[in-house]
Amino acid sequence: MPLSPLLDVDRGRAALRTMWQIRRFEEAVDDLFARGLMHGTMHLSIGQEASATGVCLALTDGDAITSTHRGHGHCIAQGADLVRMMAELLAKETGYCRGRGGSMHIADVATGNLGANGIVAGGIPIAAGAALAYQMRGEDHVVACFFGDGAANEGAFHEAVNLAAIWKLPVVFVCENNKYGMSFSTEKSMAIDTVAERAKGYGIPGVTVDGNDLEAVHEAASDAVARARAGEGPTLLENVTYRWKGHSKSDKNLYRTKEEITEWRGKDPIVRFEERLRSEGVLTQEDVDAVRAQALEDVRNAVREANSAPDADPTDLLDAVFASA
Amino acid sequence: MSSPTSTRTITYSEAIREGIGQAMEADDSVFMLGEDIGVYGGAFGVSGDLYHRFGPERIRDTPISELGIVGAAVGAALAGMRPIVEIQFSDFTNQAMDQIVNQAAKIHFMLGGAASVPMVLRAPLGSGTGAAAQHSQSLEAWFAHVPGLKVVMPATAEDAKGLLLSAIDDPNPVIVLEHKLLYRTSGPVPEEAVRIPLGKTAVRRTGADLSIVATGVMVSRALEAAETLAAEGIEVSVIDPRTLSPLDDAPILADVARTGRALLVQEAPGHVGFMAEIAARISESPTLYRLLAPIKRLSGLNAPIPYAPQLETASVPQVDDIVEAALTIMKES
Ligand SMILES: Cc1ncc(C[n+]2csc(CCOP(=O)(O)OP(=O)(O)O)c2C)c(N)n1
């Protein structure tokens, strides 16, 4: 088997840095939240970094994503600016949405992030629609549509996948199967074993991969993207992973055991990729340490800069209700 | 029944849970279904320990599929059960609108009265938690606009339990809109399963100068404003319709006729909102001729609810805004 293209000094380092930025960003958010310095609610993707990173690395400029309530990782992996992201979460005027969106609605259209979504499955038909636009205009862009296992039970999922399938839209449906939709496990919410099996019902390929294996995610996503770009239509890609933290701030974690969480913490996707880079001789321990340190510094800087930005201003609150002609 | 009741102070969410528990004990056909209501205890903790008391059949966790959940409740209700649906945020009723508006609300009528849909749909509404535009709406006017649905908005712990019990008894689909900011507030609630009838407006406070009509969390804000106004020598009534549909407008019209001034306060955007209905009822009745000042509405901005706390606060009426609006009416008359 040929080595993954990610096992190259520059790409390997970049991928590792993205994953560490996601981890450190969310740890910082968790901390700010716990100290009462951040408002609203947060859904952390700690433990799922390989999914966002592996998929977004398979995209190129001009491609787009749609994201979920658990979307910090997708936003970072797609190339968003950490300062503007942090500013949004800290309710600043300089944030991506000028304080109107917050964590659940963060978007960076410039990097092709068409938006996080507070509505479970809300982004899935939107992804199909964006792909339709590309197809109609003859552009060879692809949309990667992130959603959870829970979202795959919403009507919106089924309708969107069907449309994309019959029209052969250039979209990759990326199910991040972290085994739970809030407290309800996939064993209870579905009568089948994998979400990818549902692809059969729509006549498209369904692929399940180890979502904590960055290379495997990247490879499967690259195949699906290539298929989409070639006009062969959508793929349903299922990344099996795990969120270490509770669903959101108010989760008491009564529906899963400590042992299960510990077991999955042992399958850290970032540490796993570091080991691969070292064992394949791509990066040294010092290189890896430098990447970690850099990511931490990036996030510290984001918090610092965001904190010194002006607060979102209520005086022009009606500004963005309607777009002006 | 005239047996004496004993009250104690519990929270709004405890009151709801207690009501559900008592209804389930009294009637095997009552059951609950919704997302994360089992071991998790509900997104806002309302179902709490009910799962441990009644088990997974009657406190039934569902996949994330609101249309399916409400549809299942409609069918169960048609077939003789009394389901209580919990939708995690009222915003997500959008997913289920066909079942609510085209099915639940119509079936009794379409069948010429041959069957009914005795279901309850409970859902939290409103802003104030930083949950932003897709988790903070006040959509009560949508539901109140649909014939065939009853809509209640409990503003106190006692009402939360009493109105819910009546909603469960009612043979029609009833939408119960609970305010997120009220879940942790507390008040005296009877221990017994005391019903508060649907369609009965509550006069919370009586004053000579101005009638304030408010719904949901605005009721407590209006009462707080009333204290401030009283200190300035202005005595206001605070009236809470409680049931938005069917609406008991007589106490509102009577109070406004007495004071000659009406301030209508809602969290929802003003445009085509519920308080427009109240204003219209006043204008259509002889109460109009008793007005000493124009009717005033105080509503949320005609904008989605933003995330940043200072923006969110500025989007919906606060106590100071109510005081200021009341003073303006007093000056105008
Ligand atoms: C339509 C809708 N229903 C319910 C919710 C509440 N909710 C938010 S996230 C979530 C769980 C989603 O699970 P999944 O799709 O598996 O994604 P995960 O959280 O596991 O990443 C729920 C129930 C919502 N936001 N939108």
Give the model's pLDDT for residue A53.
Answer: 98
Q: What is the mean pLDDT of chain B?
A: 97
> Distance between CA A94 and CA B292 in Å, rounded?
47
Expressed in angstroms and rounded, the spacing between residue A252 Cα and the centre of ligand 1 is: 16
B128: tokens are: 């104030």
Strand, coil or helix: B269: strand
Segment holding A303, helix H or strand E: helix A285-307
Mean pLDDT of A194-213: 98
Give me the percent of chain A exceeding a pLDDT of 90: 94
DSSP state of B208: S
Mean pLDDT of B72-97: 96
The minimal CB distance from B308 to the residues A156, A251, A312 is found for: A312
> Distance between CA A188 and CA B218 in Å, rounded?
40
User: What does the buried/exposed string (b/e) look like for B250-261 if buried means 16 or more CB atoms within 10 Å of the residue's CB?
Assistant: ebbbebbbebbb
Paired with B8 in beta bridges are B189
Q: What is the largest CA-CA distance in chain B?
A: 60
Question: Within its chain, how far is the Cα of A50 from the centroid?
Answer: 9
Which residues are near ligand 1 (CB < 6 Å)? A 69-70, 118-120, 147-151, 176, 178, 180-182, 247; B 35, 64, 66, 88, 92, 95
> Is the predicted pLDDT of residue B295 greater than 80, yes or no?
yes
Give the model's pLDDT for residue A1.
Answer: 62
Mean pLDDT of A82-106: 97
Mean pLDDT of B96-108: 96
Residues of B in contact with A101 (CB under 8 A): 132-133, 306-307
- Sequence-ordered list of residues with C-beta below 8 angstroms from that of B35, at least 6 positions apart, any chain: A181, A182, A184, B43, B61, B62, B63, B64, B69, B86, B88
Ligand 1: atom nearest CA of B95 is 1
Residue B87's pLDDT band (cuts 50, 70, 90)? very high
Q: Other CB atoms closer than 10 Å to residue A232's CB: what's the count?
A: 14
Q: Other CB atoms closer than 10 Å to residue A61's CB: what's the count?
A: 8
> Distance between CA A69 and CA B187 in Å, rounded?
35
Residue A249's pLDDT band (cuts 50, 70, 90)? confident
- DSSP annotation string for B209-248: SEEEEE-THHHHHHHHHHHHHHHTT--EEEEE--EEETT-
Count of CA atoms in the C-beta half-sphere (13 A) of A35 = 8
The minimal CB distance from A150 to the residues B40, B64, B310 is found for: B64
Judge: B303–A317 Cβ closer than 8 Å, yes or no.
yes
Q: Other CB atoms closer than 10 Å to residue A158's CB: what's the count?
A: 17
Mean pLDDT of B23-29: 98
Residue A2's pLDDT band (cuts 50, 70, 90)? confident
Give the model's pLDDT for residue A251.
Answer: 87
Give the model's pLDDT for residue B67.
Answer: 96
Expressed in angstroms and rounded, the spacing between residue B216 Cα and the centre of ligand 1 is: 26
* Substitution candidate for ligand 1 out of A43, A69, A147 with most atoms within 8 A of CB: A69
Q: Where are the beta strands (DSSP E) in chain A?
A: 64-66, 143-148, 171-177, 180-181, 184-185, 206-210, 235-240
Give the model's pLDDT for residue A320.
Answer: 86
> Is the predicted pLDDT of residue B1 greater than 90, yes or no?
no
DSSP state of B103: I
Judge: B67–A311 Cβ closer than 8 Å, yes or no.
no
- The residue whose CA is least distant from atom 5 of ligand 1 is A120
DSSP state of B306: P
Q: Which of B49, B65, B180 to mutate to probe the A interface, most A CBs <10 Å?
A: B65
- Sequence-ordered list of residues with C-beta below 8 angstroms from that of A193, at least 6 positions apart, any chain: none
The minimal CB distance from A321 to the residues B63, B131, B302 is found for: B302
Expressed in angstroms and rounded, the spacing between residue A177 Cα and the centre of ligand 1 is: 12
Mean pLDDT of A51-60: 98
Least confident interval from A105-109, A134-138, A320-324: A320-324
What is this structure's pTM? Answer: 0.93
Mean pLDDT of B192-202: 98
Where do the H-state alpha helices sit in chain B? 12-26, 50-58, 66-78, 97, 107-110, 140-144, 157-169, 217-231, 250-259, 274-283, 309-315, 319-332
> Is the predicted pLDDT of residue B299 greater than 80, yes or no?
yes
Q: How many residues does chain B have?
A: 333
Q: In whole angstroms, how far apart are CA B86 and each of A109, B12, B61?
A: 35, 16, 10
Inter-helix orientation angle A9-34/A214-229, to 10°: 110
Give the model's pLDDT for residue A3.
Answer: 86
Give the model's pLDDT for residue B250.
Answer: 98
Residue B3's pLDDT band (cuts 50, 70, 90)? low
Q: How many residues does chain A have?
A: 325
Give me the percent of chain A exceeding a pLDDT of 70: 100
A66: tokens are: 């749609």
